Structure formats: C-alpha cells, structure tokens
Amino acid sequence: MESELAWNPFKRKTPAKSARAEAAQTAVVKPLIREAHRRGPEPGGLPRFNTTASDQMSGRGDRFSAVRAKLRHAFTPSQPVADRRLFAGRDDVLKTIIRSIEDQRLHVVLYGERGIGKTSLMHVLTQAATEARYIVVYTSCGANSNFDETFRAAAAEIPLLFHSGFSPTTAEAEKGSSLADLLPNEPLTPRKFGDLCARLTGTRVLIILDEFDRAESASFRRDIAEVIKNLSDRLGRVQLVLAGVAADLTELVEHIPSIRRNIFALRVPKMTEAEVLQIVANGEREADLKFDTQASAFVVEVARGSPYIANLICHHAGHAALDAGRSTVLPSDVASAVDRTILEFQGRIASPAQAHVRRLFEQGRQDALAMTSRAALAADGVFDASDIETTNHISARKAQDAIEVLANERLLKSMPGESEPRYAFVEEGLPTLIWMIWAQRNLNREAAVPRAATGS
C-alpha cells in the first residue's frame, strides 16, 4: 500500500495547498496576466499548432515533428478507422457478416459496447461491398432520424437504370436520374420503398444505418422492422445493416417477431491479444515508431480487448516517447499514457462517483474493485457473480464477496428481469476508470509486470 501511494501521480503532482498559499499565488498570477496583455504574446512563448489546416508542417517543430504528424493518423482514438491499412484483425467478424449478406441474403444487426469498433467495421464492410459492385448507402443515424428522410436519401443513391421499368438507354436513366425521382410527394412508407426495391435488377444495395441507437423515434424503429419484413418477403435486392447497441435488436424484433428469421445478429466481441498487438504494429509502421516488447505487452494488458483504449494509450504513449526525445516507446511511456487517460476519463464521470472509487482504493478495497471492473469490461457492462469468478479465476465465494462490497457501497445497481441476479456499475465509464487506476497503481512502470496482481 505504501509503495502504491508513492507511485500514484495524483498524490505526487497535486500536493494539497493551503488557502493562504493559493491566495498568494493568485495575487502573483493576476498582475502577470495584465502584463502579458499589455505586451502582447511573446514570439514562440505560447503553444502553437505544428501543422497547418492543409496538413503541411509549419516548419517550427522539433526533430520529431514529422513523426508526430504521422502519429496523429497512426492511432485515432477519437475517430473510427477508415483506412484499411490501419484496420486491425476482425477477419472472422467481417467474414461472418459478408457470408450472411452474400450467401443467406439476410439483414444484419451488429451490436456491441461503445467504442468496440462497429463503425470501423462498417467502413471496411462498405469498401468490401463497393469492390463487389454493391451500391452502398452509409447513413449515420441521429436523434431525429425518420424513415422518410433516411430512405429518400438512400433512394437518391440508386440509379434509375437498375429499375426494371427503365432500360439503361431511356432518357431518364441516361440523364442520371435515381429511384428518388419515382417517389411520391407524400411521406415515404416502408411498403412503398419495398415496392420500389422489388423492381430493382442487375445490382444489389446495402443500406447501412450506423449509430442506430441514437435514433429516438419509436415509429422510425417500427418502420425499420416493417421495411425489413417487406424487403425479405419480396426477395428484394436491398439489404439493411444496422449497427447500434444490444437493446435495439430486442426492440426491433418486438415489433414484428417473425423478422427474427430474416436477421442475422452479431455481437462485436472484444479484441484478442493478437488483434490489439496488430493495432500497435499498424501504428508503428504508419508513424515510424517502435514499441518495445514490454511496452506492447503493457498496452495489451491495459486495453483488455478494447480497440478504443488501445488507440488512446498508444497515441499518448507515442507522444510521451517523442517528448522524451526517443522514437522507441518504453513501458514508462505507456505508464504516462495511463496517467493521461485517467485524467481524460475523470472529465467524463461524475465527481462523487470518482471520489468514492478513490476512497475505496485508499481503504484497500482494490481487489473487489479490480475484479468486478474486469468482469464488467469482459461482459459488456452487465455481469453476474459467475462472470467475476471466471474472469478472475477465483472461487464463487470470493466473487460473491466482491459483489457484496461494491453493492453495499452503492457502486453497483442490479439489473431487472433476470432469474440470476445481474449487476452493472452505476455509471457506464466506471469500470474503465477503475481498471485504469488499478493499472496505474499495480503495473510496474518500468517492466509492465503486475506487481500485486489480483487474481490474474
């Protein structure tokens, strides 16, 4: 415990200040701000952008400026992967999706936790289908998505020459008209859209509705179920791919239970170790950086199968190495990246919950916290005692104890409607934050070996 406290950067970097010291510091800072205003910014004094908006180097950077610029594209924690060279793993998932579209002519529902890689998969699927000459319409749903707007836009992407009523040489087809030109002025219905699609020939269309969970309208969901039914019954050449979170499939199927047969639902799993290592390797290649073996192992340990965390940690670790004047990333850089990541996560979680978690760490309850958060991360947030048991290789008794500790602290809520009691953390981001704090305290910064591993 003692070494943990010495190791904790929050303790080191933010010593407690007395109110008097703070007031004295404010008194010094204020005149400085006034002075700076009078003089204007000092040349070279303030942080500047290193690259211009057109991605050109500004010429003011250090010797690693070029590597820094490449690093931005190599690890993209805030964006889905659009570039195939940076897309790691997922061969099986992609193969399964393609087979269900191609061989079984099913509509696909892809679900999985936030940041697991659904949109990135949709981008790669789009590329693969476009190569096979499918017409692919990609739509990212929003809170206000409605059927009329979404499917009119989709119809506008389908050239009229594929409508069996128009030969490619008719004037309309030649002048680049689309199916949207055949739509009535009144609001588009699933039936009308299905009718139109039934007339398509000589092509296949994939309509991808990403971020489906963001659409709030119940009637939009009902219309989607309706259109899936309609397209399936009429052997249409149009297939839907929906990407969102798990609950939406249930809700979708509730409307028309029989569409279950027409849908292939797939949960995007956590990444394997090899897949996370591929993220690291892709980034190394792209940015001309090298992660030493221990540093890569550290990334794998911390990411726990999340491509988002892997990208975030690699991004920060790469910058930490460059800041230290190295183009080789060491375990200590990954440790700094964990510190940065914790700071970022803190901004996203309510402060009382954070303070509560930190207090439990200080009180030596880290085993219960770590084991439960591991199970939550492995099970998409909702878990039971047996998940804790298997993820941590511990006894059923110990797993139950861990649940009791955190339930008593009101950090867990029980999930309704299950025969076996199931739980989730009271805030979605808590398992990741807890896991990061555990890693920060327990993974050796120099060698990335668990120092006081709980149950792993």
Sign (positive or negative) of CA dihedral 24, 29, 35, 37: negative
Residue 76 found at the interface with Mg ion (CB under 5 A):
no
Closest CA to 112 of 182, 212, 203: 212
Token pair listed for 140: 């990212």
DSSP characters over 349-415: S-HHHHHHHHHHHHTT-HHHHHHHHHHHHHTTT-B-HHHHHHHHT--HHHHHHHHHHHHHTT-EEEE
Is residue 113 classed as helix, strand or coil in its secondary structure?
A: coil
Neighbour count for residue 382 (Cβ, 10 Å): 15
Residue 431 found at the interface with ligand ATP (CB under 6 A):
no
Q: Of 311 and 373, which has the nearer Cβ to ligand ATP? A: 311
399 in Cβ contact with 326 (< 8 Å): no
Residue 317's contacts (CB-CB under 8 Å, 6 or more residues apart) are: 291, 295, 299, 329, 333, 334, 336, 337
Q: Of 209 and 228, which has the nearer Cβ to Mg ion? A: 209
Min separation Cβ 78 and Mg ion, Å: 12
Query: Of residues 97, 117, 229, 381, which one binds ligand ATP by CB under 6 A?
Result: 117
Q: Of 118 and 374, which has the nearer Cβ to Mg ion? A: 118
409 in Cβ contact with 360 (< 8 Å): yes
Min separation Cβ 338 and ligand ATP, Å: 17
Q: One symbol per residue from 100 to 129: x for binding Mg ion (CB under 5 A), - otherwise; what is it? A: ------------------xx----------
DSSP element (H, E) containing 222: helix 218-233
Q: One symbol per residue from 19 to 58: x for binding ligand ATP (CB under 6 A), - otherwise; what is it? A: ----------------------------------------
- Give the interface segment with ligand ATP, choosing from 38-46, 116-124, 218-226, 417-425 (CB under 6 A): 116-124
- Per rule CB under 6 A, count of chain residues that contact ligand ATP: 22
Q: Of 61 and 115, which has the nearer Cβ to ligand ATP? A: 115
Min separation Cβ 79 and ligand ATP, Å: 6
- Give the interface segment with ligand ATP, choosing from 88-96, 289-297, 385-393, 416-424 (CB under 6 A): 88-96
Min separation Cβ 120 and Mg ion, Å: 8
- Distance, CA of 286 to CA of 52 (rounded, Å): 20
- Distance, CA of 442 to CA of 337 (rounded, Å): 15
Residue 76 found at the interface with ligand ATP (CB under 6 A):
yes
Q: Of 76 and 341, which has the nearer Cβ to ligand ATP? A: 76
